[in-house]
Chain A
Amino acid sequence: MPITEEIAGATAISDAMLPLPYRMAEITKETADTFTFALEPLDGGRLPGFAPGQFSMLYVPGVGELPISISGDPDDLSRLTYTVRSVGLATNALVSRARGDWIGVRGPFGASWPVEAARGKDVLIVAGGIGLAPLRPVIYHVLRRRDDYVRLIVLYGARSPHDLLFRKELTSWTHAPDTHVLTTVDYGGVSWHGRVGVVTTLFRHLRLHSDRTIAMICGPEIMMRYVVAELRETRGVDASSIYVSMERNMKCGIGECGHCQFGPYFICRDGPVFSYDRLQNLLERHEI
């Protein structure tokens, strides 16, 4: 059968649809509905490295599979860490696993945050809600190579003080050289003495150098749109220096089920991280 050269030469990643066996090593409750857990390969198998921003497909037998961003340290090769918010059947099944339980892992998949392009520049991280989880690997990466970067600025907004993630780390990060962490919540309370206001209100405390800033944004789509607008319109940061992490329904993670399409892009393959100049009008289009 005359098949084209491309088929004959196609890389056969040994079936990317088969999960590899991992076990639940540790699970911590971050907030009322959000958990961080670490997975280790079963039988001492090799851990694949991952780049900040990539995700895995996590499988609970008989329940289902989910795309979850890796939220751990990319330089830690002993385990893969994830932070998950329990919102439905599958996420609940995942966070209900006990230590030692079997979890299937596929990946890592996806395009990553531009930690190389950001070298020699200010790294501006803007996270909303659970969006801090896919960005945490960037923070770890930068802190381990502090001299390769100029300022590290983390702007973080959550719904309420109870919803803030990684509180201890947020405090410890402020002690790193030339590192600034500002947090805010949408809804405060009497015992909260921190800031109240949406995450875009944090920008007024910053002096940004638009020509040497790489911004990485992750959170609900509306929040990302407003942050991008603030950066481009008020601060003059170029679209090519702004990165966002998009989310869509995923069934395969490898660009063949078609579910994660966003205009011409497959979020699982061309994203989830995109520089804003690639997306331009897509984020403004309704129901695309």
Chain B
Amino acid sequence: METLERILAEHPFFEGLAPEYLKLLVGCASNVRFEVGSCLFRQGEEANQFYLIRHGRVAIEIKEPQCSPVVVETLEKDDVLGWSWLVAPHYWRSDGRAVEVTRAIALDGKCLRTKCEQNHDLGYELMKRFIGILEQRLQSTRMQLLDVYAHH
């Protein structure tokens, strides 16, 4: 079984991160597992974690009254899930539901936030990486907005 340290070190998201920061992350990390249909987080809850998905699939959903929830995106193996922990006021903006049995590494965002305030270099390294994630998600969302396949 792979150690948390090796998984994080080899993950492309953390590539180039100084060894002491990696160690810090490992200190904040733990293995988690979600059964089918279970909720990882709910909209409005405090966002104090982010996840590195190892296996399975998570649907990011937004509840719509009178309708089933709308899935805006799914994330799976090797995807980083959760940026709200880093962006004030630190609340989850949507629901996260496991559509398959999902194993992930959960990282303690609350703890990391404090460390980032103390160590801006660490903060910058994490911000740099998460802004890349946000950019990708924004671009994809804009494409979804364009509804390119729609019947005009």
A contact set with B: CB distance below 8 Å: 33, 85, 87, 128-130, 157-159, 163, 184, 186-190, 192-198, 200-201, 204-205, 219-220, 222-223, 226
Contacts and interface: CB of A to CB of B under 8 A. Distances in A.
A222 B147 CA distance: 10
A201 B73 contact: yes
A223 B143 contact: yes
Contact of A186 (B60, B79, B139, B144): B144
B74 A195 contact: yes
Contacts of B79: 204
A159 B59 contact: no
Tell me the interface secondary structure of chain B in the complex: mixed
Contact of B68 (A189, A193, A219): A189
Could you say which interface size class chain B belongs to? 20 to 34
Interface in B70-94: 70-74, 76, 78-79
A159 B70 CA distance: 13
B74 A198 contact: no
Given A159-B150, A223-B148, 20 more contacts: A33-B151, A87-B151, A87-B152, A159-B147, A163-B149, A184-B74, A187-B71, A188-B74, A189-B71, A193-B99, A196-B59, A196-B71, A196-B72, A196-B74, A197-B140, A198-B144, A201-B140, A204-B78, A204-B79, A219-B149
A219 B148 contact: yes
A222 B59 contact: no
Contacts of A85: 151
Nearest to B142: A198
A198 B151 contact: no
B113 to A, nearest CB: 27
5 contacts: A87-B151, A128-B148, A186-B144, A189-B71, A194-B74
